Every structure is written in C-alpha cells, then in structure tokens.
Chain A
C-alpha cells in the first residue's frame, strides 16, 4: 500500500445516438415508433458525460490513463463515437446491432456494459453516463449497471470531483428540492445532469475542431457484437404501439380583462379576498 502513488484512472463513458433534440418528431403511420429518417446526434446528457470525462483529465492530467467511449447501436452509431473521440476520448468500443433490430432496453444495455467492463484488462474506475436518453426517457441504465456491478452510484450529478489518490469522487447531485453532496469510493457509476451547462455557459460540451476531427479518425474503435460478448439484447417489454399525444386545441382569444375574468370565473377560478 503506497497511498501516495498516483492512481491511473480508467474512465468509461457509454454514449447513445439519438434523434437530435431539436427535431420535431413524428409518429409513423403504422404506430410502431417514430419516423427515424431524421437528424441524429449524440444524446445531450451523454455529451456532458464525455465533456466531464475530458475535464477530469484536464484537471488531473496524467492521472487519467484512459477515456474510453462505448456505444451499443446500429452501424450509424459509429459517427457518434467519432464525435466523442474528436471531443477528446482516446478509444472507442462499438457493440453493433443490426439496423433493423429493436432498440435495446436499459437492462440489456447495462448487461452489455457489465460484460465490457469485465473485458477491460486494466479495469474501470469511473463510469460516466448521461442521466437519461432523450428518446426513451427511461433514465435507468446507470443505476442498473451499478446494481449489476455492485458499485456505488451517484445519479443526476451536477458537479464531479475525482481524487485518484484517495480513490474517491465527491459528487453534487440534483435532487427533488435541492442539492445533495455525496462521497463515493471507486469504482463508481456517475450519471450526469444538465445543471453545469445551465449555470455556466463556458462549461458547455466543446465543439470538436477540424484537426481534432481528423485525429479522431485515426483513434482505435473496437467492433463487437452482442453475441460475441454473450449478451442477449432482445427487449423484454413489448411495445404495443406508439401514438401521438392528445393535441391541445386553442380556445380563442378574449378582448378585455373583464372577459378574461369571466372565463376564469366560468372555470371556477376566483381571487382570494384579503
């Protein structure tokens, strides 16, 4: 035991390719899902996860040995991996699933990540994920992975401080009604919230510069299939249909405050007498 020895951190960042957040989505006529023939990009929460990993390296320099990104998805997800590599990750793993395959569920993804972690010869100290994907909005994968690994977890993190020597992470979490600070021992699973971006414009996920995009093309991407790592990604929940939410219809405009008050009264809304 040499507590002063610099711990070489290995960080894993799972990311997902999702329909771009700005796209107005449309349910397909068969009601089996949504029209996916639209712009895709990295899940915004995952971008923050990648950014956070890179910042940890910027703070700790050589103490971070590797930042590995991983995605489970169709061939096109490779673009998402390249984006993360261009942001500053070192290498990538792509667990490829056929274009036509149904989207894996969080439990399947968590099992795949567990299998991948177990394959890492140097181990994994910190896993940083987005708190949820903006397509399925499940928000489960990080917690499930923590459960499967038996590791500590810090969800909805808005601030992460890693101490590689003590092998601990101090994390500020967004919880209902406030913030909470946690201290977790390595290995730890962290899921990121958006807070940092809202607070400081300067902490937005970085754009990849052209030279970095060129460099990213040379970074290693390991390709695997679910079968190769012995994981079954078949969904266990059956999606019966996907529908449009009920449309709200505007009720017209009123001409004066009195009319507005009349409408409010009609709806049973009255003022409180002092």
Chain B
C-alpha cells in the first residue's frame, strides 16, 4: 500500500536528486522498548560520513513507533525521517519487512546507500533485500569513504575474525550500496535541538491480503468470515468499494482505484466480482485467488486460481485446512 505514496515522496526528494553523484543514505533505525538502539546511532554516524543526505527509517508496531519517531527526528545528521507502523511489524520478520525496503528502493529511488547496524535483526533483513535488488552487500564495516565524483564508496572491514583488514570498493556500477556498520568503530550520533528532520509516514507493505466484497452480506459476516482466514494466512484485510459502501467494512480497507493500491504476494478476492476500478488496485499482485459463486464474474479473468463456490461454505473449510 506504499505505492500510492511513493510518487509524493519522490517529488519531495527530487530537489536534491538532480546531481546523480550526491549520496543519499537510507539508515535503518532499530529500536527497543521505545529507545533507539545505540548501534543504529553509530550506523547513522557512518551514513553521515558519506557526505550527502541521510534519511532514517523507523519500522515497528503502532505502539512503539510514535515515541521512537519523537526521539529520532531530533537526531543530528538526519534530513528526513520515514516511519511505518503496522501490527505486522511488531516482530521484525525479514519476510514481512523486506517488501517495505524493496518498495522504498525500487523505481526512481533516491537512495544510493542502505545502512544499518551489524545487528542480528538487520543482518537478517538487509542481505535478503540486497539479493532481491541484485546488488552485493558489505558486512560489518569499520570505515568508509565516498568519492562523489566517481560515485564509488570504499570500505574497510575485518576478515578472518579480525586478523586481516580488507579494503573493498563498491563502484558506481552498484546503484545501491548496502552495508552494515560495526558500531564500535563509529561514535553514536547524538540528538540536537537545532534541526528537526522532516517526518513522513509510510504505509506498510502487505505480503498477503484477503479482500471481501458485497457477497459477504453484512458487517458481521464480513468479519466472521474474512478475519479467521486472514489470521490463518497472516494477511491483511481489504474490501471492495461495494463492501465499503454497504458499510461492511471501514473506508480505510478499500482496495481499488479510489482506495489503496496493493501488490501483495497473495491477493484473495472473496465475493468480489472484479470491477475495473477494483482490479486497478490489485492487479499487480503476484498470485490472485478468487472465490465467487458466479462463474462469469470478471475476476476469474485475472485470477491465477479461481474457485466457483459459495464462499460461506468454502472459506471455513479453507481456514480449517490452513491450520493443519
């Protein structure tokens, strides 16, 4: 659901993007119990040394993120702060967080570097994202130098358990340079009173979405039918315009041209006929599954997997079997 916001983001950042050589780092700011991890503050210092803009990213649950953002926006060296809160980020699983990074970093991304602490969480996430973007990553760096003219960054990092120091260069042929930072090699960035960075919220990127339409009858059956399935799949819930208009679901859940645009791994359309406006919001999903009583429903023309059946019969069965 990030898609709708991305163009806006790019417009704002485009001002500094004119000179391609100017680095712009995205720093993954980790936090724990409402406080920023000091290792992330060291990563921020390292990112500042690239000599360009630095954007921070705070991801977590809705309870945690606001207080962390309050602290993070005052950090020295940060120009922009992005934050994204969603229940699915209460535990930072690489499988759920990676799509958020991928969205941020794909298509006209202003970012030239992705930086994090060499923490167990970031170590699990960053290489996964780097591989998806087909770029190498540099682990556990102890120093860095960015050459703005050539767009290359040179890092030093310990190898052989610290018994040798390797100096490696990531040339401009690597469009986004991923690296994790050895926190003991960089002082932690402090908070200043002077500058507050610009704060922007991001929508979470759902990996799976279960969506319901008018066929769900009423708000009660919408909930009792869809939510167990969404739970069983670890999915977010969406709705068609018809379902929203009929009051089955909240406005914020609407997927479509006028609602949210989603491109999850899995999109399950239940009792949704598949109007063009709805398809506009979900047709980029990786796998579209449709369950509908009407074999002629247009949704079956885009669905990878279609099942002509009464959803009130098959959804409980589906939930039961998914739990096994």
Contact = CB atoms under 8 A, between A and B. Distances in A.
B184 interface: no
Contacts of B139: 137-140
B160 A147 contact: no
Given A106-B127, A135-B160, A174-B120, A245 B137 contact: no
Interface residues of A, number: 49
Interface stretch (B44-52, B170-178, B295-303): B170-178
Given A107-B136, A176-B119, A243 B131 contact: no
B154 A240 contact: yes
Interface string A7-19: 0000000000001
Given A25-B164, A107-B131, A143-B131, A237 B173 contact: no
A238 B139 CA distance: 14
A146 interface: yes
A243 B160 contact: no
A180 B120 CA distance: 11
A114 B89 CA distance: 28
Interface residues of B, number: 47
A165 B134 CA distance: 34
A245 B120 contact: no
A210 interface: no
Contacts of A145: 131
A27 B132 contact: no
Contacts of A273: none
B245 to A, nearest CB: 35
A242 interface: yes
Interface string A137-174: 11111011111101011011000000000100000011
A240 B169 contact: yes
B163 interface: yes
B131 A175 contact: no
B94 interface: yes
A30 interface: no
B138 A237 contact: yes
A19 B160 contact: yes
B123 interface: yes
29 contacts: A19-B160, A27-B164, A107-B130, A107-B135, A137-B140, A140-B127, A140-B139, A141-B127, A143-B94, A143-B124, A143-B131, A144-B127, A144-B131, A147-B98, A147-B130, A147-B131, A152-B95, A153-B94, A153-B95, A155-B94, A155-B120, A155-B123, A175-B120, A237-B138, A237-B168, A237-B169, A238-B171, A243-B164, A245-B163
Interface of A: 1, 3, 19, 24-25, 27, 34, 105-107, 110, 134-141, 143-148, 150, 152-153, 155-156, 166, 173-177, 180, 182, 235-245
